[in-house]
């Protein structure tokens, strides 16, 4: 947090390029090493509209429904309905902290796999949350900017026992 790249709108990525495949490999390594639920290219210093995410027995996020491993290139989000819900988030670019963040409950996302195959999914709950968090990174937004009540933002260690489980 504080690095200029994390405040910038990232550039469109070129599907099917060797550079994109190398970027995704680096992102995979970083996400898995740090037990993240997701990662956006600007977080490893690359201005490109690429995010990855996965939720499978993640020790940083117990109590949440699984999300399939996904590489999403040049994503476009369409929020479905007005309903929002609050949930605790963390971010590998904001280490040691958690905050209660409102997100739309349902959305449709479209984009491409690295080889150019279209992706089109309608999701809700934690899956919708992680997509909103990661795509925010591509638009230069970090989750603390979305927190409505800053009394619900703090150090993970200090918040132990105060964080309710994720909604699903």
Q: Which residues are catalytic?
A: 134
Report the nearest approach of Ni ion to the CB of residue 43 (Å): 6
Residue 13 engages Ni ion in binding (rule: CB under 5 A): no
With respect to Ni ion, which residue has the nearer C-beta, 14 or 47? Answer: 47
Cα separations in angstroms, 135 against 25, 67, 121? 19, 16, 15
Q: Edge to edge, what strands does the sheet with 97-104 contain?
A: 84-89, 97-104, 153-155
Report the nearest approach of Ni ion to the CB of residue 135 (Å): 10
- Piece in contact with Ni ion (CB under 5 A), picked from 19-27, 90-98, 102-110, 146-154: 90-98
Residue 91 engages Ni ion in binding (rule: CB under 5 A): yes
Q: Which helix (H) or strand (E) holds 155?
A: strand 153-155
- Piece in contact with Ni ion (CB under 5 A), picked from 4-12, 17-25, 89-97, 124-132: 89-97
- The count of other CB atoms within 10 Å of the CB of residue 94 is 17
With respect to Ni ion, which residue has the nearer C-beta, 64 or 91? Answer: 91
The residue number with the shortest CB distance to Ni ion is 91
- Piece in contact with Ni ion (CB under 5 A), picked from 87-95, 98-106, 110-118, 119-127: 87-95
Residue 55 engages Ni ion in binding (rule: CB under 5 A): no
Report the nearest approach of Ni ion to the CB of residue 8 (Å): 15
User: For the chain, how big is the Rg over CA atoms in Å?
Assistant: 15
For residue 154, list its beta bridge partners: 98
Report the nearest approach of Ni ion to the CB of residue 91 (Å): 3
With respect to Ni ion, which residue has the nearer C-beta, 14 or 144? Answer: 144
Query: Residues 136, 146: contact at Cβ < 8 Å?
Result: yes
Contacts of 41 (CB under 8 A, 6+ apart): 10, 13, 23, 27, 47, 48, 49, 50, 51, 138
Sites of contact with Ni ion (CB under 5 A): 91
């Amino acid at each position: 947090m504080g690095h200029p790249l994390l405040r910038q709108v990232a550039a469109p990525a070129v599907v099917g390029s060797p550079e994109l495949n190398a970027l995704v490999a680096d992102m995979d390594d970083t996400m898995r090493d740090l037990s993240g639920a997701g990662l956006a290219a600007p977080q490893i210093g690359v201005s490109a509209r690429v995010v990855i995410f996965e939720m499978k027995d993640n020790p940083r996020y117990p109590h949440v429904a699984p999300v399939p491993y996904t590489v999403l290139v040049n994503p476009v989000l369409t929020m479905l309905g007005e309903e929002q819900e609050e949930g605790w988030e963390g971010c590998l670019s904001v280490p040691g902290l958690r905050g209660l963040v409102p997100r739309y409950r349902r959305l449709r996302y479209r984009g491409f796999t690295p080889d150019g195959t279209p992706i089109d999914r309608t999701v809700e709950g934690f899956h919708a949350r992680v997509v909103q968090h990661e795509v925010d990174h591509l638009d230069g937004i970090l989750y603390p900017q979305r927190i409505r009540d800053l009394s619900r933002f703090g150090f993970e260690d200090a918040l132990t026992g105060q964080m309710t489980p994720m909604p699903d």
